[in-house]
Amino acid sequence: MAAPPKVVGFGETGLDYFYDHSPRDVQQEQFRAHLRAAHLAGLPVVVHTRDAEDDTLTILDEEMGKGAFTGLVHCFSGSMEMAERAVDMGLYISFSGIVTFKKAESLRGVAAQIPLDRLLVETDAPYLAPVPHRGQRNEPAFTAHTATVLAEVRGISPAALAEATTANFYRLFTRVPRSS
C-alpha cells in the first residue's frame, strides 16, 4: 500500500491522552503498528503527541531499537527534553502557530535550541492559526508568520529559515519531487 509514489509518509499517528477518546493501550498498539509500517516501507512518520510525552518517547525508543526510521514530531508543544530526545533519535521537530502565542515563551525557548537541520514549520490547518490570525481558520499562507517568529528567536533572517526548512522537508520526504 505504500508503494505508489504519491505516498510520501505515514501518519499522523501517535498518542493523545488529552481527550482519552480511545483506550491508551489501543492507542499505543496502533502507534507501534504505524511505526513498524513506516520502518518497513522506508518512509517517514508524522508523530502526534499530546499529554503523552513519556509514553511517546518510550515507544519511539523501543521501536527505534527494532530498526531505525525517520519522521517528525508535528505541532510540537512539548518540553526541551522531548525535543532533545526526538532529535537524538533522528527525528525532526515541526512548529505550528502555537509558537507565536503570547504565553508560548517556553516553547519559543525550545525552538531557539533545535538544530537548524532538524526544524520544520507547519500549519496544523485548520487549527492553531498564528498571531495575528489567531482564532481564524488556519491557512498555509499563515506559516510565514510562524516562520518569522522562529527566525527571530533563532537570530536568523526569515529567508535563511525558509531555505533551511525547505531543505529539511525534502531531506525528510524523499519521495516528494523538488519543484523547479
Spatial separation of the C-alpha atoms in residues 56 and 128, rounded to whole Å: 22
Cell numbers for 102, please give them. 503570547
pLDDT at position 136, please? Answer: 95
Position 179 confidence tier, pLDDT thresholds 50, 70, 90: confident
Read off the pLDDT of residues 105-135 as tens digits, 9 standing for 90 and up. 999 999 999 999 999 999 999 999 999 999 9
**Residue 155 to residues 60, 94, 160, Cα–Cα distance (Å):** 31, 18, 10
Position 180 confidence tier, pLDDT thresholds 50, 70, 90: low
Residue with cell 529559515: 161
Fold held by 71-173: TIM Barrel (3.20.20)
Handedness of CA 117, 156, 144, 81 (dihedral sign): positive
Read off the pLDDT of residues 42-51 as tens digits, 9 standing for 90 and up. 999 999 999 9
| Mean pLDDT score, 78-94 | 97
Measured between alpha carbons, how far apart are the two ends of the chain, in Å? 28
CATH 3.20.20.140 positions along the chain are 71-173
